[in-house]
């Protein structure tokens, strides 16, 4: 199972304070669906305001990215810029 690490207070409000949890998923898209089912509203928040790092690398357009059974997924706030 992928280990999801939540490094953002707005997300932890939706997880009941959990800073990490495991999800069985083979892609980021699957992961987001499972997260949304488990923590309603969190999947949408991730889509809109979060960056996703998989095994230490921030992934652009991550929805199709593959996950290994032991992947570490870190949810980070997106950095805005102009």
Q: Is the pLDDT of residue 14 over 90?
A: yes
Residue 64: the pLDDT is: 86
Pairing label, strands 50-54, 72-77: antiparallel
Give the mean pLDDT of the chain. Answer: 91
According to CATH, the superfamily of the domain at 2-77 is: Beta-grasp domain (3.10.20.30)
Which pLDDT band holds residue 70 (cuts at 50, 70, 90)? very high
CB 73 within 8 A of CB 5: yes
Mean per-residue pLDDT for 29-57?
94
Q: Is the pLDDT of residue 82 over 70?
A: no
């Amino acid at each position: 199972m992928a280990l999801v690490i939540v490094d953002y207070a707005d997300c932890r409000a939706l997880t009941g304070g959990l800073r990490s949890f495991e999800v069985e998923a083979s892609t980021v898209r699957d992961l987001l669906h499972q997260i949304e089912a488990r923590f309603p509203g969190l999947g949408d928040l991730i889509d809109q305001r979060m960056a996703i790092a998989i095994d230490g690398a921030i992934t652009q357009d991550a929805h199709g990215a593959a996950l290994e059974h032991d992947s570490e997924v870190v949810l980070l706030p997106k950095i805005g810029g102009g």
